[in-house]
Amino acid sequence: MDSGREHQNNGDATSPTHVPKKQKVSNFITPEEIESEFSHHLPSVARINNGSFGCCPSSIIAAQRLWQMRYLEQPDNFYFNYLKAGVLESRRLIKDLVNADDISEISIVDNATTAAAIVLQQMARSFYEGKFSQGDAVVMLHYAFGAVKKSLEVYVTRAGGRVIEVPLPFPVSSKEQIIVEFRKALERGKLEGSKVRLAVIDHVSSMPSVIIPVKDLVRICREEGVDYVFVDAAHGIGCVDVDVKEIGADFYTSNLHKWFFSPPAVAFLYHRKLSGSEDLHHPVVTHEYGNGLAMESAWIGTRDYSPQLVVPSVLEFISRFEGGIEGIKKRNHEKVVKMGTMLAKAWGTSLGSPTDMCSSMVMVGLPTCLGIESESDASKLRVHLREKFSIEVPIYFCPFKEGEGKADVITGYARISHQVYNKEDDYNRFRDAINKLVGEKFTCKLLSE
Ligand SMILES: Cc1ncc(COP(=O)(O)O)c(C=O)c1O
């Protein structure tokens, strides 16, 4: 337990993060105020890709600046009197938000990629130290994020483990399809004689973006005797419901900079106290090594800690919206579904999943005549939309399946996001741009490498 040590710090954790509040007692943030909060966004760009890098309103940027100035004014005072107390306060708020049992279960790290490295390095040590046997397995979804897949190669495969990938269908028609494939993969591991040590499960996958039935998959892991479960919820908090006790995984990470209005970069890593996972360490080793992950992560050398310290201000910002984060999440979901449906109708295509598997992001099929035949085509089209139409939207290539006729199968999907700053016009511009390309008989073949 590290919290006793942290309490020795007498710093005033909250004062510098609180920017003066406008004197508005009962009414919620207005559209004009939202516009002003995001007035640093380039007005010429239709930004329908909150999913990749999130957003940060100006009042939080101002609060962050106060922390940065507190550091620059007198670094020693900041490091010795404010940093630990500030991080502790942020951890306490996050603990309550995600319903963890104990503050020692919450560490603040830079991002989901770092959290994955922390968990997977622990797995690698278990192989090297003989707790796991060569050939023991880790199960991961085919949809897993690229960096997480690479991390598995580096930390698990190189340590002698094997990775079992769960093939997943796309477009997907129900959560049961995912559950069936997941069960099959665990079964395959068993038949091949591998003990499954870890399952890595996305909460909301990145590309294609789909809500994964995490609670069901965690329960199946428990029934099947999987040692550990790590939920990669890079798009968790602010995007889907996050109750770590209900989800029941051993490890759960979520960024705060994607859907929780925090400046880059800040995420939390939850590790369940009872999971026997006390050998977790930050990949950057410092003086705090051995004092618990939360302490290790709260002082990893000289750097900017301000994103970790503005959590109280973020909550204050969120409280200005009707229904708080629940209201924001619900409205984002409803609006992105509405916009996705409008686009699919305009293009004569369909959505990539049922709407209850969409979060604040939706996969919308693109017209087949655009000729998206490879990942390279998808990324070239994305660049084309940015450069020629000032539209920021990621494109997913969905390969043909065996036996499918080429002509009318959708092979390209746009992942559209909705966040509080978006307007219908952003999506109308996207609709019109694609219609223009179709009208001009554009195909991806016309784009050079
Ligand atoms: C599912 C998933 N995992 C991990 C990440 C990595 O997040 P970060 O870049 O904040 O580390 C992302 C980013 O989009 C993601 O979607």
* Ligand 1 atom at minimal distance to the Cα of residue 207: 16
Question: Which CATH code for domain 84-314?
Answer: 3.40.640.10
Write the CATH number of the domain with boundaries 324-446: 3.90.1150.10
Is residue 393 within 8 A of residue 238, CB to CB? The reply is no
Asked whether the predicted pLDDT for residue 75 surpasses 80, the reply is yes
Atom from ligand 1 closest to the CA of residue 144: 1
Pocket residue to mutate for ligand 1, from 143, 200, 212, 232, most atoms within 8 A of Cβ: 232
Pocket of ligand 1 (CB under 6 A): 52, 111-113, 145, 147-148, 202, 205-206, 232, 234-235, 255
Least confident segment among 10-14, 81-85, 225-229, 325-329 = 10-14
Look at residue 182 and tell me whether its pLDDT is greater than 90.
yes
**Residue-wise pLDDT tens digits, 294-316:** 999 999 999 999 999 999 999 99
Residue 239 C-alpha to ligand 1 middle, in angstroms?
13
Q: How far is the CA of 298 from the centre of ligand 1 (A)?
A: 21
Q: Whose CA is nearest to atom 12 of ligand 1?
A: 234
Name the residue with the closest Cα to ligand 1, atom 5.
234
Coil, strand, or helix at residue 162? Answer: strand
| β-sheet bridge partners, residue 229 | 199
| Distances, alpha carbon 55 to alpha carbons 264, 323, 328, in Å | 9, 20, 14
In the chain, pLDDT over 70 holds for what percent of residues?
93
Prediction pTM value: 0.94
CA 342 to chain centre: 26
Reply yes or no on whether the pLDDT at 345 is more than 70: yes
Ligand 1 atom closest to the CA of 202, numbered from 1: 1
**62-66, 142-146, 213-217, 400-404: the lowest-pLDDT one:** 400-404
Looking only at the bridges linking them, the beta strands covering 251-255 and 228-233 are: parallel
Nearest alpha carbon to residue 8 among 295, 273, 300: 295
- Between CA 55 and CA 238 the distance in angstroms is 12
Q: What is the pLDDT of residue 210?
A: 98
> Residue 203 CA: which ligand 1 atom is closest?
1
Task: Calculate mean pLDDT across residues 148-153.
Answer: 98
Residue in 53, 111, 205 to alter for ligand 1 test, most ligand atoms within 8 A of Cβ: 111
Contact 167, 142 (CB under 8 A): yes
Taking a C-beta distance cutoff of 8 angstroms, is the pair 248, 222 a contact? yes
293 C-alpha vs ligand 1 centroid, how far in Å? 20
Amino acid at 87: V
Neighbours of 350 (CB within 10 A): 16
Backbone angles phi, psi at 215, to 5 degrees: -60, -45
Q: What is the DSSP annotation of 173-204?
A: --HHHHHHHHHHHHHHHHHTT--EEEEEEESB
Tens digit of each residue's pLDDT (9 = 90 or more) over 246-299: 999 999 999 999 999 999 999 999 999 977 767 899 999 999 999 999 999 999
Q: Answer left, alpha or beta for residue 386, where phi above 0 means left and psi between -120 and 50 means alpha.
A: alpha
Ligand 1 centre to CA of 206 (Å) is 7
> pLDDT tens digits, residue range 118-139?
999 999 999 999 999 999 999 9
Q: Residue 200 C-alpha to ligand 1 middle, in angstroms? A: 13
**DSSP letter at 81?**
I
Looking at every residue in the chain, the average pLDDT score rounds to: 93
Print burial letters for 62-87: b (CB count within 10 Å at least 16), e (below 16): ebbebbbebbeeeeeebeebbbbbbb
The residue whose CB lies within 8 Å of the most ligand 1 atoms, and thus the one to mutate among 49, 50, 113, 262, is 113
Q: Is residue 174 scored above 90 in pLDDT?
A: yes
- Output the CA 402–ligand 1 centroid distance in Å: 30
Task: Give me the amino acid identity at 103.
Answer: I
Q: How far apart are CA 34 and CA 41, in angstroms?
A: 12
Q: Which of 149, 206, 252 to mutate to test the pocket of ligand 1 (most atoms within 8 A of CB)?
A: 206
CA of 72 to the centre of ligand 1 (A): 30
CA of 255 to the centre of ligand 1 (A): 8
Taking residues 230-235, report their average pLDDT. Answer: 98
Determine the distance separating the centroid of ligand 1 and the alpha carbon of 277, expressed in angstroms.
Answer: 23
Nearest-atom index, ligand 1, CA of 257: 10
Q: Which of 274, 215, 216 minimizes the C-alpha distance to 247?
A: 215
Residue range 222-240: average pLDDT?
Answer: 98
pLDDT band for position 448 (cuts 50, 70, 90): confident
Q: Which of 222, 254, 223, 227 is nearest to 97 (CA)?
A: 254
For residues 136-154, b (16+ Cβ closer than 10 Å) or e, as one string? bbbbbbebbbebbbebbee
Q: 112 C-alpha vs ligand 1 centroid, how far in Å?
A: 6
Contact present, 430 and 414 (Cβ < 8 Å): yes
Structural domain boundaries in the chain: 84-314, 324-446
45 contacts: CB under 8 Å, gap ≥ 6: 390, 391, 392
Which DSSP letter does residue 290 get? T
Q: 234 CA to middle of ligand 1, Å?
A: 5
Ligand 1 centre distance from Cα of residue 326 (Å): 22
pLDDT (mean) for 162-189:
97
DSSP codes joined into one string, 237-277? BTTB---HHHH--SEEEEESTTTS-PPSS-EEEEE-GGG--
Give nearest CA residue, ligand 1 atom 14.
52
* Residue 404 pLDDT exceeds 80: no
